[in-house]
Structure 1
Amino acid sequence: MTAPFDDLRDESQQLDSLVAALTPEQWAAPTPAPRWTVAHQIAHLAWTDRAALLAMGDPEAFAAEVAKALAAPESFVDDGADEGAAQEPAALLARWRDGREELQEALRAAAASKAKFPWYGPPMSAASMATGRLMETWAHGEDVAEALGVERPPTGRLRHVARIGVRARDFAFAAHGLPAPDAEFRVELVGPGGELWAYGSEGAGQRVTGPALDFCLLVTQRAHRDDLAVRADGPDADRWLDIAQAFAGPPGRGRPPKGPRPGPAA
């Protein structure tokens, strides 16, 4: 019962350790997301934590926020990030810390119930909300790490991200106006410790295989498929890897391929 909440706490703390001592110049450093700085990334997490608290505590008010998102799908998320990024770094950091701690308490208090809370996608239980927040924290943490030139080793917490990515398969097709495949896929991923994470029947006719880290980068759209070692066997599975997304809302812009890595100097 506590695993998703503990893992969300630990994932947030790992990212916190990256940004806690940054200079104002580093907070303003550009990240791979167009126009977003490190401050935008943290502001977005703080903003989304507050949205989750609103969904849990005042569904009617949250429905009004969803209506705003639907009315301005191209700017709603950016507007929230811009507002937070305009704060002084210390104030932004304190806001993120306070919000995520409040959300932790609310999620743990709701864990024993079977209640589901509204979201920008399907309604979610407290545990599902926690895993969704972990997925976002990890994904935006990747952007922050890249901006700072830091390489973060993958952890077993990625199992939450992978599971969301697999479960969101049909949503990804729907988000692109495509019918979902009738048959399930077999997804086999190699975890950070060499363990196998498997989803779907062993007898499924179509498969996706590869490192768990690469699959998570793919479904959070932090890297282009061409730069990852994720492979598909079957036409529908192949199509899925082009459109996969683990997050709610419309399809993201994704990232362009980085192209071949330079070889050794002659």
Structure 2
Amino acid sequence: MSKLDEVLADLRAEGDQLDDLVAGLDGSDTGGWRTPTPAAGWDIAHQIAHLAWTDETAVKAATDKDAWDASVLAALADPDGFVDVEAARGAAAPHDELLHRWRTARAELEKALRDYPSGEKLPWYGPPMSPTSMATARFMETWAHARDVADALGVELPRADRVRHVVHLGIRTRGFAFAGRGLEVPSEPIHVSLVLPGGGVHEDGPADAAQSVRGSAYDFALLVTQRVHRADTDLVAVGPDADRWLDIAQAFAGPTGEGRPPRDAR
């Protein structure tokens, strides 16, 4: 199995899990599609609408230059608001139509990434991405929004080793987390050792590095997607750069987020 096949299979599994979570909900605001989520101003419908829109936009990037260019122009016209605008527009549709839209977008995206020319990169709002990198980014966002929906419904999703894709992205974006805040990107290596839900260990960086981050891979994924405050994780940093990184970690592109407050402050 190629790396792209692996990530796409895990993306499909993550999408199906979230699909199962929302498919039986009604249009109510208590336990249904209108239930508020931890994302300010977004209910469950907004979460699914955002995933559908982003999957559709990725398909445009892979298959339709004119449609992709139009998406970029729309984003440039409202750089601070276009994400919320598209989420609200999608969320206004009947929930069965929205679910069908998201299912269609997921299937089309998988096909578009499989069919994309080998060795070429897709355009995106940040740097261009290979199909595997795009699939990894879509996994990260699907995983993160699934946690928002689960939190809104008061359920605990199973912890699976496929979270390693979020971990991988969170480590690779360390420099961006610093640069995005106008901070000098540290040059000293950091050894990362994180325990996956199944008991395996995801490691990165030289084992003899003076600085390190250790703990749960699941907690690390929650932190880099800004779904949890650092104080509510089991992550341990050794060294000033590693410690600062955990304060500002961010696996997604775009403006730096504020993250979640500690549980005790909610």
Q: Shorter-normalised TM-score: what interval?
A: over 0.9
Question: Is 1:99 the counterpart of 2:102 in the alignment?
Answer: no
Distance 2:65 2:187 in 1: 34
Question: Is 1:233 the counterpart of 2:223 in the alignment?
Answer: no
Alignment of 1:1-266 (within 5 A): 1=2, 2-25=5-28, 26-59=32-65, 61-110=67-116, 113-259=118-264
Q: Retained in 2: the 8 A contact 1:168–1:245?
A: yes
Distance 1:58 1:92 in 2: 22
1:37-65 Cα distance to aligned partner (Å, 9 max, x none): 00000000001001101111234543443
AA at the equivalent of 2:122: F
Distance 2:245 2:73 in 1: 29
Q: What TM-score do the two structures reach when normalised by structure 1? A: 0.93
Change (3 A) 1:205 1:69: farther
- Relative to structure 2, which stretch is displaced further, 6-15 or 62-71? 62-71
Change (3 A) 1:64 1:206: farther
AA at the equivalent of 1:48: T
1:59-89 Cα distance to aligned partner (Å, 9 max, x none): 4543443344345333121111000000000
Q: Retained in 2: the 8 A contact 1:27–1:39?
A: yes
- Relative to structure 2, which stretch is displaced further, 119-128 or 216-225? 119-128
Distance 2:206 2:36 in 1: 42
- Relative to structure 2, which stretch is displaced further, 31-40 or 178-187? 178-187
Unaligned runs of 5+ in 2: none
Identity fraction in percent = 57
Change (3 A) 1:28 1:197: same
Task: Please give the root-mean-square deviation of Cα atoms over the aligned residues, in Å.
Answer: 1.6
SS of corresponding position for 2:158: coil
SS of corresponding position for 1:246: coil
Change (3 A) 1:61 1:13: same
AA at the equivalent of 1:5: L
Distance 2:75 2:184 in 1: 24
1:108-154 Cα distance to aligned partner (Å, 9 max, x none): 222x6011111122211111111110110000000000111110121
Unaligned runs of 5+ in 1: 262-266
Change (3 A) 1:259 1:70: farther
SS of corresponding position for 1:183: coil
Between the two proteins, the alignment pairs up a number of residues equal to 260
Q: What TM-score do the two structures reach when normalised by structure 2? A: 0.93
Q: Retained in 2: the 8 A contact 1:59–1:117?
A: no
Distance 1:171 1:184 in 2: 15
Distance 2:177 2:76 in 1: 18
- Relative to structure 2, which stretch is displaced further, 209-218 or 227-236? 227-236
Deviation at 1:172, TM superposition (A): 1.1
